[in-house]
Amino acid sequence: MARILVVDDEANIREVIEYALVKDGHTVEIAENGDAAWTRLQTSGVDLLVLDVVMPGLDGLSLCRRLRATASGGPPIVFLSSRGEELDRVLGLELGGDDYLPKPFGPRELVTRVNAVLRRARPQDGPEPPRLAHGALIVDTGRHEASVNGTRVELTVTELRILRALLEAGGRVLTRGQLIEHVREADYHITERTVDTHVRRIRAKLRPHGIDPIETVHGLGYKAAAGPP
């Protein structure tokens, strides 16, 4: 089970989330706002954040931005918000969120979303999963990590799944719909529009390392770019 930090300024929401996650076997800590959560995360890490978007002081999106700018990139994040419009969901995912659940929500659905993100973020038992290479880029599918020349590149769970799907396709074109199917378990809110957003983020994170492994096939989708000779 996981250590989860729940960050929400509404006491009743925190209590509902804590009860549901503890009942499912997780260890839960509480922070009343983003500033308290940031202070807590300076002392030790957690496996996942359940993070409200709208809070006084340091809001959820700002906390996510700050965490993703750190060397470790911070833990996976499941956003909660009464602002359920697509623009807000896209912004949360662009900043590095791994899932987004609008309020009001059912506790069982929250637990299911949290467990799905945790599964994708953790190595699974069984035979050692493959390491996918594209020049100096290595995607370790067991550790759910990407690195260039040994330097880790912080990608979200959804970004890693998209990159993995394209590399495993071996140069075949994958439509946006096919990529959605590859990541739907980890990201319930993914759409064709957000596929494009995730691809832009992958490129933005890898280009400073001299790597651009994705080629756009206009009118169709994406494929892995030809590797270096």
**Last-in-domain residue among 60, 94, 121:** 121
Are residue 39 and residue 110 in the same domain, yes or no? yes
Per-residue pLDDT tens digits for 140-168:
877 778 999 888 898 888 888 899 999 99
**Does 101 lie in the same domain as 175?**
no
- pLDDT for res 150: 84
Quick one: 138 and 169 in the same domain?
Answer: yes
Write out pLDDT tens, residues 173-187: 999 999 988 887 655
185-204: pLDDT as tens digits: 655 677 888 899 999 999 99
The SS3 call for residue 6 is: strand
Cis peptide bond prior to 213, omega within 30° of 0: no
Pick from 10, 54, 9, 11: nearest CA to 36: 9
CB 176 within 8 A of CB 192: yes
Whether this model's pTM surpasses 0.75:
no
- pLDDT score of 187: 58
- Measured CA angle at 170 (ends 165, 175), to 5 deg: 50
Going by pLDDT thresholds of 50, 70 and 90, the confidence category of residue 90 is low
DSSP state of 209: G
Asked if residues 55 and 34 have their Cβ atoms less than 8 Å apart, the reply is yes
User: Which structural domain range is residue 76 located in?
Assistant: 3-121
Question: Is 200 part of a structural domain of the chain?
Answer: yes
Is the same domain home to 194 and 89? no
Assess whether 136 and 213 both reside in one domain: yes
State the CATH number of the domain containing residue 41. Answer: 3.40.50.2300
* Residues 152 and 42 reside in one and the same domain: no
- Tally the domains of the chain: 2
Q: Mean of the per-residue pLDDT values for the chain?
A: 86
